[in-house]
Amino acid sequence: MKKVLAIALAAAMVLGSMAGCGAKGGEGKIKGAKIEFATRQTGDTLERLRTVVANFEKESGVKVELTEYANDDYESALKTRMASGELPDVWETHGWSRLRYGEYLAPVNDEAWYANENDLAKGILTGDGDTAYALMLTTSVLGICVNVTAAEECGVDVYAIETYDDLTAACQKIVDAGKVPFVTNRSGGDFTHVGGQFTTYDDALVNDAKAQLDGTYDFESFRAEIKWFAELMDMGAFWPDVTTASDQDNTERFAKGESVFYFANGADFCRNAAEINSDNTYAVIAFPAIKEGAKKYMAGGEGYAVGAWKDGKNLAAAKALLAYLAEHGGEFVEGLSAISTVKSVDTPATRLSEEAMQKYADAVYVNMWDREYMPSGMWGVFGDAVNQFYADWSDENIESILSFLKTNYDEKYAAMHSAE
């Protein structure tokens, strides 16, 4: 179930030329077809997507109905449609092309454009198997965002951080210098993106991968991670208003050098900070090794990916839309913050992420832990747990949080496997 991807060259992170059949190759067969495309995009990215879709319609003669869902409603809407057996012809897989939607999507390995997906993308899309079910236009590389200038002002060399003990010591140095080490948006990622280092991966403190996957996990090994966060809270490593500070507050604090780290995020956060203060230097570093001799880690996953319903009445037209996006999706990808996998598109987030991957070529790159090892629906549960923790990190409340996670894990695992 786990795919460990070692990246040797940063240059491998971008695709070769996105040659593909486009819409024109099958024009005679698909002209006049009508397909539905489900999206959760909003604002500028939605407008960019509409432009690409409109161009596809003109070139192919296919009519595309864009069904727009609010981000918070998207996954539940897709689950409802899966249950009813009435799915869109094309939809955004939101990180779940293989693990959740694989049985509903048409395999893409034989599509002309798939040969141009890079090794990281193929590894994420196929896991330990051989079949991919989506076109992936972007990927994400999540580590620790750093205001390098602010770190240097505190006497911290972020590239000398090898282990979590080193990171803890760096935080103390930053506190002593009068700054607050971390900002955060209190998402599930605070806990989940490094959860595997404590509980699952080959060099984890405790490897409970089997238990997590068979429904018997008791969350005891997760205690070590929460206790590490509690140590940071006692130190004053987070802002006193951590439970109420807005995303804008945190971005500004990071950009101004009042904080040094954003834990568990990608280059897009650095990009946003640079728009506020371009005088500082920003970088993404790998999650440090969990212990001496272990490897550093970076979390990855599907960024923007789309698949075609294998039982759709107009599958050929749906596949033609995927091929068109593979070849002509550059303008759309420019509006996204993840790493572009379209060679012709160069974005600030892409450049920063590639610099990180070049710097940490020996790190282990894995799919996001919660996607691989937790039952569907746990992301929101971890987000709730994070907020409970930041409000009260006492030993008593840590016990309550572990119980909360266990209860929800049991319920969601049972629900996910009820039909088996």
| CATH classification of the domain holding 222 | 3.40.190.10
Domain membership flag for residue 347? no
Both tokens assigned to 131: 């079949």
In angstroms, the CA 10 to CA 351 distance is 10
Per the domain annotation, does 2 fall within a domain?
A: no
C-alpha span between 102 and 121 (Å, rounded) = 16
CA 162/CA 291 separation, integer angstroms: 9
Confidence of residue 91 (pLDDT cuts 50, 70, 90): very high
**Residue 349 domain-assigned (yes or no):** no
Which domain, by its residues, includes 175?
Answer: 142-299+367-416
- pLDDT for residue 28: 55
pLDDT at 83 over 80: yes
Q: What are the residues whose beta carbons fall under 8 Å from the beta carbon of 151, sequence distance 6 or more? A: 157, 158, 170, 174, 260
Q: Does some domain include residue 252?
A: yes
pLDDT at 283 > cutoff 80? yes
Residue 314 scores a pLDDT above 90: yes
- Secondary structure letter of residue 245 according to DSSP: -
Q: Does some domain include residue 243?
A: yes
Instruction: Provide CB contacts within 8 A for 130, sequence distance 6+.
Output: 109
What integer pLDDT is reported at residue 4 of this predicted model?
Answer: 36
The mean-pLDDT minimum among 117-121, 219-223, 225-229, 381-385 falls in 117-121
Q: What pLDDT is recorded for position 414? A: 95
**Closest Cα to residue 338, out of 325, 330, 324, 348?**
348
CA 347 to chain CA centroid, nearest Å: 17
385 or 416: which leads in pLDDT: 385
**In terms of domains, do 294 and 307 share one?**
no
Of 2-6, 89-93, 257-261, 316-320, least confident by mean pLDDT is: 2-6
Give CA–CA dist 268/185, Å, rounded. Answer: 14
Residues in CB range of 149: below 8 A, 6 or more apart: 257, 279, 280, 281
The pLDDT of 132-157, averaged and rounded, is: 94
Give the closest residue to 133 by CA, choosing from 378, 366, 318.
318
14 pLDDT band (50/70/90 cuts)?
A: very low
How many angstroms separate the CA atoms of 107 and 333, rounded? 23
Q: What is the Cα–Cα distance from 377 to 187, expressed in whole angstroms?
A: 14
Number of domains in the chain: 2
Residue 78 pLDDT exceeds 90: yes
In angstroms, the CA 266 to CA 329 distance is: 22
Rounded Cα gap, residues 90 and 82, in angstroms:
13
Q: Are residues 30 and 168 in the same domain?
A: no
Of the listed ranges 96-100, 344-348, 369-373, the least confidently predicted one is: 344-348
Do 289 and 157 belong to one domain? yes
Same domain, 332 and 224: no
Helix, strand or coil for residue 300?
Answer: strand
State the Cα–Cα distance between residues 337 and 271, nearest whole angstrom.
9
Give the dihedral sign, CA 401/403/404/408.
Answer: positive
311 and 255 part of one domain: no
The token pair that represents 125 in the structure block: 């899309």
State the residue for tokens 């939101």.
Answer: 94
What is the reported pLDDT for 343?
59
More confident residue, 85 or 342: 85
Return the ∠ at Cα 3 (arms to 168 and 296), rounded to 5°: 20
| Residue 419: predicted pLDDT | 56
Would the pLDDT of 332 be above 90? no
Query: What's the token pair of residue 35?
Result: 């397909």
Task: Looking at the structure, tell me whether residues 280 and 213 fall in a common domain.
Answer: yes
* Same domain flag for 156 and 294: yes
Query: pLDDT tens digits, residue range 234-251?
Result: 999 999 999 999 999 999
Inter-residue contact 406 to 208 (CB < 8 Å): no
Q: Phi/psi of residue 368, each to 5°?
A: -55, 130
**Token output for 332:** 């759309």
Residue with the bigger pLDDT between 253 and 303: it is: 253
- CA 183, CA 234: separation in Å to the nearest integer? 15
Q: pTM for the complete prediction?
A: 0.80
Q: Per the structure block, which two tokens stand in for 370? A: 């919660």
Contact 60, 30 (CB under 8 A): yes
| Domain shared by 293 and 171, yes or no | yes
- Give the pLDDT mean for 288-308: 92
Mean pLDDT of 337-355: 69
Whether residue 233 is contained in a domain is answered as: yes
Evaluate whether 224 touches 233 at the Cβ level (below 8 Å).
no
Q: Is residue 108 part of a domain?
A: yes
Q: Do residues 238 and 316 share a domain?
A: no
CA end-to-end distance (rounded Å), the chain: 18
Q: Which two three-digit tokens encode residue 66?
A: 């864009």
Residue 369 CA, chain-centre distance (Å), reads 10
Tens of pLDDT, residues 26-48: 445 899 999 999 999 999 889 99
| pLDDT tens digits for range 179-228 | 999 999 899 999 999 999 999 998 999 999 999 999 999 999 999 999 99
Nearest-5° Cα angle at 364, 293 to 111: 160
Quick one: DSSP state of residue 360?
T
3-state secondary structure 335-352: CCCCEECCCCCCCHHHHH
